[in-house]
Amino acid sequence: IINLDFLAELGIQKRNPAFSTGRTFATLDPSRATRKIVSPTDGEVIAEVEMATQEDLDHIVATSQKAYENWKTLPAPRRGEIVRQIGEALRKYKDPLGKLVTYEMGKIYQEGLGEVQEMIDICDFAVGQSRQLYGLEMKSERQDHRMFEQWHPLGIVGIISAFNFPVAVWSWNAMIAAIGGNVCIWKPSEKTPLTAIACQNILQDVLKANDLPEGIFSYIIGDAAIGASMSHDTRIPLVSATGSTRMGKKVAEAVGARLGKSLLELGGNNALIITENADVEMAIRATVFGAVGTCGQRCTSTRRLIVHASQYDKVKERLLKIYPSLSIGHPLDESSLVGPLIDNDAVDAFKAAINKATSEGGKLLIGGDSYSKEGLSSNYVHPAIVEAENHYQIVQDETFAPILYLIKYDGEVENAIRIQNDVKQGLSSAIFTNHLLESEAFLSAAGSDCGIANINIGTSGAEIGGAFGGEKETGGGRESGSDAWKAYMRRQTNTVNYGRVLPLAQGIKFDI
Ligand code: NAD
């Protein structure tokens, strides 16, 4: 029996408001459409959420525009101080919020806690960043001129997030955008809106204590239609969208048509290479966590394992020994390593992908069927391993489920790199080797074409300090650390003439 006290602790009610502009929440309204939020863990209805309308979005945008007038004038380190307090509040709620992430999304509790830790980490990062929104100084070619650049905020940042990282991805965007002087409107996945409401409840106290206006951090609950409205809305200069490539293409099209900015974090099809010079035991540990962690529902999950022929049988044997011992079960039970898929559609997609793989010539080695136990939902599966070839249509697609395609390569590491790059997506990649030449080849311009390339570390589990994102159909966006903050800002080049004459650039003579 699970103790659900964390719901009350986080302010989750039976029925929850469709939006909030920060300090206040929409009044509950029985005439509104609602959505029941079912836990993938046990199939129980956790709560209901009211669905927002276009009028609600208009109201939120107007409130955000007003807040922006105030927020953008605050010194950036002052904004950093607010983010510091948000980080403190998150520390206080780490345990209940981690539990809600687990109960609403289905990842195991350790990963739920890890997700909240990522939020705390990005707050810390953003506090420091708030004093480092540096522009360059360039040397002017003109006498007595000074040239430099400044970074100013954009205005409203729309954040559309996916179900699988229900809170961390929002915080990467929102905390960095906020220290830059932007205000944020968050549309969480309609599959995981309760975690967004919980975050807003946590934020609310900080905003109130600092007497800040409504509209700095808002959320709106809706499905694709609200996301599409945000994409078309010229009052939202930047839309940061995380989710499937299918969704990202639609967002890019809508935002592009109005020449707005988009930041896209889309699907991955990540590979891990095991060369003849790899430490196989270490590689196996990384592979298993990458393939079955979050039940294969991380954008960075390991989907393809490309193994040198000399290691292939050993690797296969090890994996087939480990897979049956992975404990599948309720993700709040600390002994579980594999939790459920998000819903029944995901279970169907998992099974359909395995059928497709075998019909294309693949060999199912283990798993692939449902796992059932009293008290659990029908969303649990046995993680699968399929021997396959990279060119199979199904291997080319991202199936958001725990399927590991085992692919053999011969000869030099370049052959493995070619296979790893031969997909449409370009998010995360990894190689296990203790050979310098192989690892450098992997990191070279002729190596991995992904946004993330790791040596002797798996594909999943990035740190917030680096810029996160990927190439090709992954969308090209970068979030989180490094200089990703620049995506939320507009660059202004300034030239000041402190002389008494007006020389023209390029030495142009123009006598009047
Ligand atoms: P999804 O594309 O179904 O939904 C993501 C979000 O987009 C939801 O909030 C949804 O309501 C919204 N949306 C859907 N259609 C839209 C439209 N036409 N216009 C605007 N918004 C729209 O994705 P999902 O199933 O929630 O998440 C899984 C996917 O997300 C996977 O492909 C995964 O790889 C990807 N993902 C990528 C990253 C990354 O950083 N690259 C991180 C997490 C998840």
Express each pLDDT in 100-123 by its tens digit: 999 999 999 999 999 999 999 999
pLDDT (average), residues 72-96 = 98
Pocket residues: Cβ below 6 A from ligand 1 = 160-165, 169, 187, 189-190, 223-224, 227-228, 231, 242-244, 247, 250-251, 265-268, 299, 398, 400, 427, 474
Tell me which residue has its CA closest to atom 37 in ligand 1. 266
For residue 390, name the pLDDT band (cuts at 50, 70, 90).
very high
Q: If you measure from the C-alpha of residue 358 to the centroid of ligand 1, how many angstroms do you get, rounded to a whole number?
A: 28
Share of the chain above pLDDT 90, in %: 99
In tens, the pLDDT along 399-423 reads 999 999 999 999 999 999 999 999 9
Say if residues 220 and 60 touch (Cβ distance below 8 Å): yes
For residue 160, name the pLDDT band (cuts at 50, 70, 90).
very high
Token duo for residue 336 = 């579980």
Say if residues 456 and 279 touch (Cβ distance below 8 Å): yes
What is the model's pLDDT at position 200? 98
Say if residues 305 and 292 touch (Cβ distance below 8 Å): no
265 is catalytic: yes
Res 170 pLDDT > 80: yes
What is the model's pLDDT at position 250? 98
Query: Which atom in ligand 1 lies closest to the alpha carbon of residue 163?
Result: 26
Token duo for residue 41 = 């863990």
**Among 123, 199, 295, 299, which one carries the catalytic annotation?**
299
Substitution site in 163, 244, 344 for ligand 1 pocket (most atoms within 8 Å of beta carbon): 244
Residues 6+ apart with CB under 8 A from 261: 154, 237, 238, 239, 255, 487
What is the model's pLDDT at position 129? 98
Tell me which residue has its CA closest to atom 15 in ligand 1. 224
In tens, the pLDDT along 6-34 reads 999 999 999 999 999 999 999 999 999 99
Query: In whole angstroms, how far apart are CA 265 and each of 210, 268, 304?
Result: 33, 9, 20
Query: Which atom in ligand 1 lies closest to the alpha carbon of residue 188?
Result: 9
For residue 37, name the pLDDT band (cuts at 50, 70, 90).
very high
3-state secondary structure of 120: helix
**Class of residue 66 by CB neighbours under 10 A (exposed 0-12, middle 13-18, buried 19+):** middle
For residue 461, name the pLDDT band (cuts at 50, 70, 90).
confident
As for the ipTM of the complex, it is 0.98
Report the distance separating Cα 482 and Cα 171, nearest Å.
15
Mean pLDDT of the residues in the chain = 98
Q: If you measure from the C-alpha of residue 188 to the centroid of ligand 1, how many angstroms do you get, rounded to a whole number?
A: 10
Query: In whole angstroms, how far apart are CA 170 and each of 116, 234, 251, 387?
Result: 11, 21, 17, 36
Q: What pairing do the DSSP bridges indicate for beta strands 363-366 and 425-426? A: unpaired
In tens, the pLDDT along 344-362 reads 999 999 999 999 999 999 9
In tens, the pLDDT along 463-474 reads 999 999 999 999
What is the model's pLDDT at position 489? 98
pLDDT (average), residues 324-332 = 98
Substitution site in 299, 300, 459, 460 for ligand 1 pocket (most atoms within 8 Å of beta carbon): 299
Res 1 pLDDT > 90: no
> Which alpha helices (H) appear in 184-330, and where do they start and end?
193-209, 224-232, 245-257, 280-292, 309-322
Q: Number of C-alpha atoms within 13 angstroms, CB side, residue 305?
A: 30
Substitution site in 194, 247, 251, 427 for ligand 1 pocket (most atoms within 8 Å of beta carbon): 247
For residue 371, name the pLDDT band (cuts at 50, 70, 90).
very high
Buried/exposed code over 133-142 (b: 16+ C-beta within 10 A; e: otherwise): beeeeeebeb
Q: If you measure from the C-alpha of residue 116 to the centroid of ligand 1, how many angstroms do you get, rounded to a whole number?
A: 20
Say if residues 136 and 148 touch (Cβ distance below 8 Å): yes
Query: In whole angstroms, how far apart are CA 298 and each of 43, 247, 491?
Result: 21, 17, 33
Res 328 pLDDT > 90: yes
Res 2 pLDDT > 90: no
Query: Which atom in ligand 1 lies closest to the alpha carbon of residue 250?
Result: 18
Chain centroid to CA 19: 22
